[in-house]
Amino acid sequence: MSSAPQTSLPTCPSEAAAAAAPRVKHGLLRMNKKERTPEEKAQREAHKLEKRLCRLTGQAIVDYNMIEEGDRVMVCLSGGKDSYTLLDILLKLQKRAPIDFEIIAVNLDQKQPGFPADILPAYLDKLGVKYHIETQDTYSIVTDKIAPGATMCSLCSRLRRGILYRVADELGATKIALGHHRDDIVQTLLLNMFFGARLKGMPPKLQSDTGKHVVIRPLAYVDERDLVEWSRLQQFPIIPCNLCGSQENLQRKIVGDMLRDWQTRFPGRIEMMLRSLQNVVPSHLMDHKLFDFKNLKATGVADAGGDIAFDHEMPTPDAAGEFSMAIDED
């Protein structure tokens, strides 16, 4: 018994429908989605960027329990794009957070030549934020102890850290917030691998060596390019630094240039490297202090942590380097 012949739908509309379709389509576009002006497009992109910064910062805070009820958060403000954005986003989150916490901005005036001491107080007064300016002439100490042309980071950072810990004690701060971001963390991982023979990054939350302070990095998930753009949009009064971060021969700067080149040629690579720090498998590394290789024996019992032919596939980034929650709605 033969089946009835199947009729196929027409592959193209009639001439009348074809002529009417563009008008209907364009008419709907005009009604539902009017053409945005360049100013409207810029505002929309700025709104999406703000949402992304708040989302990623909030997610890092939740993932690592960085800020808790009643915390007094000391935000270290240097006058650079990272610390300005950190303060700005924390103030936004403070208004909508389900917990109460206090923010106090702290700047360390290191008496470097040409440092405009009036900019930060004026900016913070305008914001109405509590702040403290700590003046310590670390610049003279660093330039006296470090030979011209040599990198200043080691001594400079140790001096800053000690001073800020003392200030945190004096202010009663329970958390010390720093502006390091995703790219800083990956740079630190590579620097430790290349020059320190250690698989060690820059943690989003840590305890000081004295055990008295907790340091947090709420921008741990944030792309540096977003910080650059937000700083431009907000027109933060950037104060250039001529101490450690500005030296051309820094290995950190060289590694940073390498990562930016990778990000251009291989979108998503920095994000994947950051995720690798969140998915560590000690049994597949070589540190016998973390995993007991010496006493490892075949037991005949299936082990979910044992070796398999192929690992489960990780998510792959799209062209923009985004993974989950890639689209920020209006």
Query: Per the structure, how many domains does the chain have?
Result: 1
Q: Is residue 304 part of a domain?
A: no
Q: Is residue 324 part of a domain?
A: no
The pLDDT value given to residue 176: 97
The pLDDT value given to residue 200: 93
Q: Is residue 188 part of a domain?
A: yes
Q: Is residue 162 part of a domain?
A: yes
Q: Is residue 4 part of a domain?
A: no
Which residues of the chain are modeled with pLDDT < 70? Answer: 1-34, 148-154, 242-249, 309-330
Angle ∠(104,106,112) on CA atoms, nearest 5 = 165
> Inter-axis angle of helices 81-96 and 38-63, to 10 degrees?
80
Q: Where are the alpha helices (DSSP H) in the chain?
A: 15-32, 38-63, 81-96, 119-127, 138-145, 153-171, 182-196, 224-234, 251-265, 269-276
Residue 77 belongs to domain spanning:
43-276
- Indicate the SS3 state at residue 107: strand
What's the pTM? 0.81
The pLDDT value given to residue 231: 97
Evaluate whether 178 touches 242 at the Cβ level (below 8 Å): no
Q: Is residue 15 part of a domain?
A: no
Q: Is residue 240 part of a domain?
A: yes
Among 174, 162, 159, which residue's Cα sits nearest to residue 210? 162
Check which CATH number belongs to the domain holding 259 and give it: 3.40.50.620
pLDDT tens sequence across 196-250: 999 999 999 999 888 999 999 999 999 999 999 999 999 999 988 766 555 555 7
**What is the per-residue burial (b if ≥16 Cβ within 10 Å, else e) of 315-329?**
eebeeebbeeeeeee
CA 266 from chain centre, in angstroms, equals 19
Evaluate whether 174 touches 72 at the Cβ level (below 8 Å): yes
Q: Return all residues near 155 (Cβ < 8 A) that are at least 6 apart.
A: 141, 142, 145, 146
Q: Is residue 306 part of a domain?
A: no
